[in-house]
A = this chain, B = another copy of it.
Amino acid sequence: MDDALAFSALVLALSGQLVQEIHARVSQQGFEDLRPAHGFAFARISLGDTTTADLAEHLGVTKQAAAQLVEELVRKGYVVRHPHPHDARARLLGLTEAGWAATRAADQAARAAVAPWREALGEARFSELVADLTRLTPPGPIRPAW
């Protein structure tokens, strides 16, 4: 039928609203100088062993763009650059305490934003949905929708 366009538009609207809601909650917790993309940078950096080039690939942007983003996060006190133990060119990225605090705030915000879905669908169907999403959505960069 013609659910196709509706489905696309709804998924797009949903993702926009999730991002916006998470961002709003994080801002409200005092992190007003962070944008949504920063959250996904934190997610990658918090895994450890991350260089600027790794981050660029993860976000699906050029390494110059990632370098600018890192520079901004360093300037704002969320990220630090360490020398790489085995590569004098590279620098390993790490989160400061402020960076970890922002990451925790984003986690909490995401849980709150998704809560209506858990409740409306029930735990079982929600898990099923997450499983379907995992199965049907090929891994790719985490970026603005277009």
Contacts and interface: CB of A to CB of B under 8 A. Distances in A.
A134 B8 CA distance: 11
User: Chain A interface secondary structure, helix, strand, loop or mixed?
Assistant: helix
A55 to B, nearest CB: 15
A61 to B, nearest CB: 13
Count of identical protomers in the assembly: 2
A142 B9 contact: yes
A75 interface: no
Given A35-B146, A126-B3, A146-B37, A14 B11 contact: yes
Given A4-B107, A8-B110, A130-B6, A17 B120 contact: no
Interface of A: 2-20, 22-23, 35-37, 40, 43, 106-107, 110-111, 113-117, 120-121, 126-127, 129-130, 132-146
Contacts of A111: 2, 4-5
